[in-house]
Amino acid sequence: MSDASVDPEEVRHVAGLARVALDEEEVGRFAEQFADILAYFDTLDEVPEVDRERDLVNVMRPDEVHESLDQSAALANAPETEDGQFKGPRVS
């Protein structure tokens, strides 16, 4: 396995893309573990190119109106609601 560690800055960057906040300890631990795991993923370089023949079929159904959850059931698990709507953080 590779003994080079993944750059902690890289871990922070990916965590930012994934919208997961990490503490410093986790960043350090993940940087070390990812070096090993990604070195293992690198063995995929040895995979030959393979013809992917799949019998794929479209599955269609008529676009009909069905009963659905009512508003109160849909909102029941939300941490915050207002006037019958989900309440989320501001967008920017």
Q: Report 48-77 residues binding another protein (CB under 8 A).
A: 48-52, 59, 61, 69, 73-74, 76-77
Tell me the closest approach of the beta carbon of residue 4 to another protein, in angstroms.
15
Q: Report 19-38 residues binding another protein (CB under 8 A).
A: 19-23, 26, 30, 33-34, 36-38
* Cα separation, 39 vs 41, whole angstroms: 5
**SS3 (DSSP) at 85:** strand
Residue 85 half-sphere exposure toward CB, CA atoms < 13 A: 4
Tokens of 52: 């992917």
Tell me the closest approach of the beta carbon of residue 29 to another protein, in angstroms.
8
Tell me the closest approach of the beta carbon of residue 42 to another protein, in angstroms.
8
Tokens of 83: 């006037």
- Residue 84 touches another protein, criterion: CB under 8 A: no
Instruction: Evaluate the CA torsion angle 21, 30, 47, 53 in order and state its sign.
Output: negative
- Residue 2 touches another protein, criterion: CB under 8 A: no
